[in-house]
Structure 1
Amino acid sequence: MKEKGSKYSEYGELLRDSIKVIEEAKDSLKGAISFLGGGKNGIAFGAYKLAAIKEKKLKELDDMIEKLRDLANQIEKEAEEAEEKTKTKNESKS
């Protein structure tokens, strides 16, 4: 039972990390967008900030998306295995 608890703890940690990366990207975009309305210098600085976001945050987002896909596939596989075990167990009782 302890193994399952730690596995689900890892799932929760991955989801929390994903949320953090998404929130950071959102905040970075909000900051960059706020500069875009600030005249010629603001537009240049906003464009600079957007370029910086592109390099760092998009990579982090891509990594998190991949991890979430892997997690979803793993959960789906485990659910199918559990369903099959339950089905086999019920059939053997009959």
Structure 2
Amino acid sequence: MSILVTGASGHLGRHVVDSLLARGVAPADIVAGVFTAEKGAPLRELGVTVVPLDVNDPATVTAALAGVSRVLLISGPDVANRVDGHRTVIEAAAAAGIELLA
């Protein structure tokens, strides 16, 4: 089971990743979707797979979902585009055959 965490380098997203690790999820089973590659470096140091993910760019969402079985959709700070970004992730996950959005 692999889990994509969107917004993983943000405040809440980082706490989610840390919580998954504390609960025994293997770092190799966590995919951290980050908007800025540099902010993903601390997660990469933990052994987490870090991928570029911009919820407003469907191509990055589709690429981030490759091989993922679950998605934890964490909202980012972009309130103006939040609904559209969430829709992009949800539709891409459905298209990828992911049945559970945790």
TM-score w.r.t. the length of structure 2 is 0.26
TM-score (normalised: structure 1): 0.28
Structure with the largest fraction of helix: 1
Larger Rg computed on CA atoms: 1
